[in-house]
Amino acid sequence: MASPEIRIDQLTGARVLLTPGRAERPDQFGLSPWQPSGPEGCPFCEGNESATPPEIEADRPDGSAPDGPGWRTRTIPNLFPALIPEFEVETGNESGPEAAFASSADPLLASSRRAEPDLFSSRPAVGHHEVIVNAPRHVVSLAELDPDETAAAMAAWRSRMRAHADAPYVQLILNQGPDSGASIEHTHAQLGATPFVPAAVARERERFNAYRERTAGASLLGEVLREEIRRGDRLVAIDEEVALICPWASRFPFEMRLVPRRPEPSFEEGDSGASMLHRAVAALSSLVEGELQMNLWVKTAPRGVEHFHWHLDFAPRLEPTSSFEMATGVDINVVTPEAAAEKMREAIA
């Protein structure tokens, strides 16, 4: 067994502990296989549109009427939103929602000397929380979508992200399987348009900037990718548009990163990656027992940010989070990205 190793993620600066040896394949972990329960009573299936709130947007190639059948992708408000539109916010917030957050993200750093720091500040969670149903038929895994369906789903994710271009940040995620956080099994993505730039994204942006300044204009992820292609041991596949790698400091076993070959700041402004995502999730699915449970997220440029390099990350959900990870924020990964990439290269078509 190889010795444990500390690696630092180039994009976030976060450390991970790589402790290989306990498991080598995704089917050697402890979570029990996911057995989906089927389409009965599913609110996301075509024909059940009345079971959801009215649609916000839908891809209806034949021009069918809203909230009925005939769509390829369909976007609806989240029934239990984490962020709500401004017009739905209850008024009566006397403290002035902007005050504590306007100049400094941390109220302890507020500049007013007379006022006590507001240790318990809060403001309404203004934003948007949407669900994008990826396909009309009852498919529980991205891996079961064909290439055209995958492309249609990704086009819908991008369209909804562009619709919220005025938000400081737009986070696109997909939870697949109950252990990943999904409450409905029919494949769907979620979008959160947040009134702030999340710290993890801000950190990445700072490091992109710092690297640019130090190297007279080079892209941090562009340079990482060039080196990954040259070295090859974490490279899974590459096509005209994107490369698929297992990140150097992978936080999770079989974590995957899809990166456009030419640096593009915003995921939502382009149209690349669907073909590779389709191949990648199919390969990943072939390595697990039962249906693949997976978390997927996009990192894209915050509003107004020019120098960024989007990437789409995903990882099979194989283990619960441990106390060490909760305490420290440092993930322990028992599969090296080199081993994961090797298995994936064998599995990918």
Part of the chain binding Zn ion (CB under 5 A), chosen from 3-11, 34-42, 99-107, 189-197 = 34-42
CA distance 91 to 198: 25
Could you tell me which of 202, 231, 227 has the C-alpha nearest to residue 308?
A: 202
Which of 17, 45, 182, 235 touches Zn ion (CB under 5 A)? 45
Task: Note whether 42 binds Zn ion by CB under 5 A.
Answer: yes
What b/e readout covers 112-131, taking b as 16+ CB neighbours within 10 angstroms?
A: eeeeeeeeeeebeebbbbbb
Task: Note whether 138 binds Zn ion by CB under 5 A.
Answer: yes
Find the binding residues for Zn ion in span 170-189 (CB under 5 A). Answer: 186
Part of the chain binding Zn ion (CB under 5 A), chosen from 22-30, 130-138, 165-173, 226-234 = 130-138
Q: How far apart are CB 42 and Zn ion at their closest, in Å?
A: 3
Part of the chain binding Zn ion (CB under 5 A), chosen from 93-101, 110-118, 137-145, 341-349 = 137-145
Could you tell me which of 338, 347, 344 has the C-alpha nearest to residue 248?
A: 338
Which CB sits closer to Zn ion, 36 or 195? Answer: 36
Q: Which residues contact 231 (CB under 8 A, 6 or more apart)?
A: none
What b/e readout covers 251-267, taking b as 16+ CB neighbours within 10 angstroms?
A: bbbbbbbbbbbebbbbb
Give the number of residues in contact with Zn ion, rule: CB under 5 A. 6
Our measurement of the distance from residue 24's CA atom to the centroid of its chain's CA atoms, rounded to an integer in Å, reads 24
First to last CA, the chain: 30
3-state helix, strand, coil in the chain (%, to 5): 30, 20, 55
Part of the chain binding Zn ion (CB under 5 A), chosen from 43-51, 64-72, 103-111, 158-166 = 43-51
CA distance 205 to 94: 34
Q: How far apart are CB 130 and Zn ion at their closest, in Å?
A: 18
Could you tell me which of 282, 279, 242 has the C-alpha nearest to residue 262?
A: 242
Which CB sits closer to Zn ion, 39 or 195? Answer: 39
Which CB sits closer to Zn ion, 221 or 292? Answer: 292
Q: How far apart are CB 112 and Zn ion at their closest, in Å?
A: 52
Which CB sits closer to Zn ion, 149 or 331? Answer: 149
Find the binding residues for Zn ion in span 86-115 (CB under 5 A). Answer: none
Which of 29, 34, 44, 248 touches Zn ion (CB under 5 A)? 44
Residues making contact with Zn ion (CB under 5 A):
39, 42, 44-45, 138, 186
